[in-house]
C-alpha cells in the first residue's frame, strides 16, 4: 500500500507555509561541506515538521532527509529534500521547492515537488501519470533547437566542472541553456516541457528522487550520463530529456 497522496500533498503544502513565512537572517545560515553548500534554519525546520507529521501518520515508514546528520537508506520510506534550491532561497531568488519521494522495495512509487512561491504542486504515482496542480503533464518531445536545456552545476564536485562546461558548449551549438538552481524543479520542468532536458554530473538522491518519477510519468527518459539507472543510495549523474533530445545528447556523449 502506498501513502494517501492527498494527505501527503496537504502536509507538504503546510510545510510550504513555513518557507513562505520565513524571515531569514544571516545568523540562520551556515555552510556544510563547503562555502557553496549552505543550510538554513528553515531547511531544518521544514525537515523536522515533515518528519514528525509523517511519523504520526505513517509510523512504519523510514524517514530520510538531506539535513540529517547520518544517512541510512532504506528500501521502504520517505526520501526528502526539505528545501531544494537552498542558495536561491538564501539570495531571494523565488525558485526552490520541497521534494518528497515515497519508496517501496527500493523503487520510487510516489513523488511530490512543491514550489510555495508560485503555489505549484507537481505530483505523480507510478503508472498513473504526473500532474502540475490539476493538469496532466506530458513532455512535448522537442528537438534540441526548439527548447531550453536545464543544467545543474554540481558545486560540491570540482571534477564535474570541465565535463559540464564541455557539454554546455555542445548543447549551445544548437540550443540554449538555463541554470535555475533546483534539480527537483529542473526535472519537473522537463516533465512539463518548460525545459527540453536537464543534466548534472553529481547530484544526490534526495534532490532527484521525486522529480525522477514525475518526469518519467510524463514520458521523459531519465538515466545517468552513462545511460544507466540512477542509483538512489549515492551521488550520481543524471540526464533527463524527451526522446528526441535524449538521443541527441546520448550521441554527443557517446554512451
Contact residues for Ca ion, defined by CB under 5 A: 66, 81, 83-84, 86
How many whole angstroms separate alpha carbon 198 and alpha carbon 164? 12
Write out the binding residues for ligand IPD, residues 184-213 only, by CB under 6 A. 200, 203, 207
Q: Of 62 and 95, which has the nearer Cβ to ligand IPD? A: 95
- Return the residue matching grid coordinates 533527463: 240
Distances (CA, A) of 14 to 7, 10, 57, 109, 206: 11, 6, 15, 22, 20
Q: Which of 73, 150, 155 is nearest to 107 (CA)?
A: 73
- Contact partner at residue 153 from ligand IPD, Ca ion, none, CB < 5 to 8 Å by partner kind: ligand IPD
Q: Which of 207, 201, 217 is nearest to 184 (CA)?
A: 207
Cα–chain-centroid distance for residue 124?
13
**CB-based contacts of 231, cutoff 8 Å, min separation 6:** 205
**Residue 45 binds ligand IPD, judged by CB under 6 A:** no
Q: Which position among 24, 126, 153, 253 is part of the footprint of ligand IPD (CB under 6 A)?
A: 153
Among the residue ranges 52-60, 85-93, 117-125, 211-219, the one whose residues contact ligand IPD (CB under 6 A):
85-93
**Residue 85 binds ligand IPD, judged by CB under 6 A:** yes
- Contact partner at residue 152 from ligand IPD, Ca ion, none, CB < 5 to 8 Å by partner kind: ligand IPD
Q: Which position among 16, 77, 111, 152 is part of the footprint of ligand IPD (CB under 6 A)?
A: 152
Q: Which residues bind ligand IPD (CB under 6 A)?
A: 66, 81, 84-87, 152-154, 181-183, 200, 203, 207
Amino acid at each position: 500500500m502506498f501513502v494517501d497522496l492527498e494527505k501527503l500533498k496537504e502536509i507538504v503544502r503546510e510545510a510550504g507555509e513555513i518557507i513562505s513565512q520565513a524571515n531569514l537572517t544571516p545568523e540562520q545560515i551556515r555552510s556544510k561541506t563547503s562555502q557553496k553548500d549552505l543550510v538554513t534554519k528553515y531547511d531544518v525546520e521544514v525537515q523536522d515538521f515533515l518528519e514528525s507529521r509523517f511519523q504520526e501518520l505513517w509510523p512504519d515508514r523510514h524517514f530520510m532527509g538531506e539535513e540529517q546528520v547520518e544517512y541510512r537508506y532504506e528500501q521502504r520510506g520517505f526520501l526528502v529534500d526539505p528545501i531544494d534550491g537552498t542558495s536561491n532561497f538564501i539570495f531571494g531568488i523565488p525558485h526552490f521547492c520541497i521534494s518528497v519521494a515515497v519508496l517501496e522495495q527500493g523503487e520510487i512509487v510516489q513523488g511530490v515537488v512543491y514550489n510555495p512561491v508560485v503555489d505549484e504542486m507537481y505530483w505523480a504515482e507510478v503508472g498513473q501519470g504526473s500532474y502540475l496542480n490539476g493538469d496532466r503533464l506530458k513532455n512535448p518531445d522537442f528537438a534540441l533547437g526548439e527548447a531550453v536545456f536545464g543544467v545543474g552545476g554540481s558545486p560540491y564536485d570540482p571534477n564535474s566542472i570541465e565535463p559540464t562546461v564541455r557539454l554546455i558548449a555542445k548543447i549551445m551549438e544548437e540550443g540554449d541553456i538555463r541554470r535555475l538552481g533546483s534539480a527537483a524543479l529542473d526535472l519537473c520542468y522537463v516533465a512539463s516541457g518548460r525545459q527540453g532536458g536537464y543534466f548534472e554530473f553529481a547530484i544526490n538522491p534526495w534532490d532527484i528522487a521525486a522529480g525522477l518519477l514525475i518526469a518519467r510519468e510524463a514520458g521523459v527518459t531519465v538515466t545517468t550520463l552513462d545511460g544507466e539507472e540512477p542509483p538512489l543510495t549515492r551521488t550520481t549523474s543524471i540526464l533527463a530529456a524527451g526522446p528526441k533530445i535524449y538521443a541527441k545528447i546520448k550521441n554527443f556523449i557517446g554512451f
